[in-house]
Structure 1
């Protein structure tokens, strides 16, 4: 259940971890006017810059963190990963690994799939933005493999949250896109291919031995009253943030 007073969702899979800040914002509780109503956090939208900044401050206040501790990037639907040691705003990265406390990786979404990875033992986290292009390029397993190979994470310890995004029922794609996904992650509805991004990422993580996975039931198109949807709103909409990191 989402209330209109909820600025963000906190995944159940993370609720037992002290000092962890993780979740996905909703479109509620902000100051933006239509069509960005109301908690628009997308700095590259045509919303008023000062209003977007106020919205970011509101979210951070609700999380108990400082806006200057966010690590964000202009996303390009590719597979580059930023191993962040200093919070900043970069360009070209669609996944951000937080390597130390008080760095909160955050990716913008409005139909694409957010994936959050948490290693409570090594205290490293990753926020991943995965649309169909990033999914095909394997950005989710690439980020997970980096945690496993470089940061001493163990697959049995990793926790994954696959967040709100466009669902199988609403994600109609052309034949050329569908051809790039495995049979287990696509289906035909009235001779049109549909792709299941959540299932795709769950299978990719499972292949790495990651079994602790929570999959959000929310669809950004179907539940557009709670989330921004680029497809439903024909491109004129705001952005949520999927965020993760440890407080010191």
Structure 2
């Protein structure tokens, strides 16, 4: 159950890790006016810049962190991964790995699928923005492979959260897009294909040996009262953040 006082959701799979700050923001508890109401965290939206910064501060305050500890990027729906050693705002990355404590990777979403990867042994996290383009490019397994090959993360130790995004019921795509997805992640109930991003990412994670996975039941379109939806709101909407990092 989501309350209108909830600024963010903390996944059940992470709740036993006291030093971890991880979750997905909702659209509640901010200062933005319609159509961005209310906790718009998207700095590239047409909302007022000072209000967006206020919203970011409100979220960070509720998390017990500082805005300057966030590592964010202008996302381009590609498969580039930023191995972040200090917080910043860059451009061109759709996955961010926090290699240090007190740095919180954060990706913006409003229908695209957020995936959070957490290794509580190595104290390393990753936040991934996976729209359909990044998904077919394999940004989720590429990020997982990097954690395993470069940072000695053991797949059995990695916890994964597949967050709120557009669901199979609402993600209609054309033939060209559908052709790029595996058969078991799409349906054609009528004239249009429907794609299941959550199932795709769960399958991809399992293929690299990650089995501890929580899949959010929330759909950004169906539950638009709690989440921003680019498709439902016809492109004029705010952004949530999916974030993860360890406190020292």
TM bin, normalised by shorter chain, reads over 0.9
2-side partners of 1:190 and 1:34: how far apart? 34
Quick check: 182-191 or 235-244, which moved more? Answer: 182-191
Matches within 5 A, 1:22-61: 22-61=22-61
Task: Tell me the equivalent position of 2:209.
Answer: 209
Task: Output one character per residue of 1:66-121: Cα deviation in whole Å (capped at 9) or x when no partner.
Answer: 00000000000000000000000000000000001000000000000000000000
Task: Output one character per residue of 1:42-67: Cα deviation in whole Å (capped at 9) or x when no partner.
Answer: 00000000000000000000000000
Task: Tell me the equivalent position of 1:11.
Answer: 11
2-side partners of 1:42 and 1:18: how far apart? 28
Task: Tell me the equivalent position of 1:99.
Answer: 99
2-side partners of 1:87 and 1:210: how far apart? 27
> Partner of 1:156: helix, strand, or coil?
helix
Task: Tell me the equivalent position of 2:66.
Answer: 66
**Taking structure 1 as the reference length, what is the TM-score of the superposition?**
1.00
> What displacement does 1:191 show?
2.3
2-side partners of 1:209 and 1:152: how far apart? 14
Task: Tell me the equivalent position of 2:83.
Answer: 83
2-side partners of 1:15 and 1:6: how far apart? 16
Alignment root-mean-square deviation, CA: 0.3
> What displacement does 1:190 show?
1.1
2-side partners of 1:92 and 1:125: how far apart? 19
Task: Tell me the equivalent position of 2:170.
Answer: 170
Query: Structure 1: which 5+ runs fail to align?
Result: none
1-side partners of 2:167 and 2:213: how far apart? 17
1-side partners of 2:145 and 2:24: how far apart? 23
> What displacement does 1:189 show?
2.1
Structure 1 runs (4+) deviating above 4 angstroms are: none
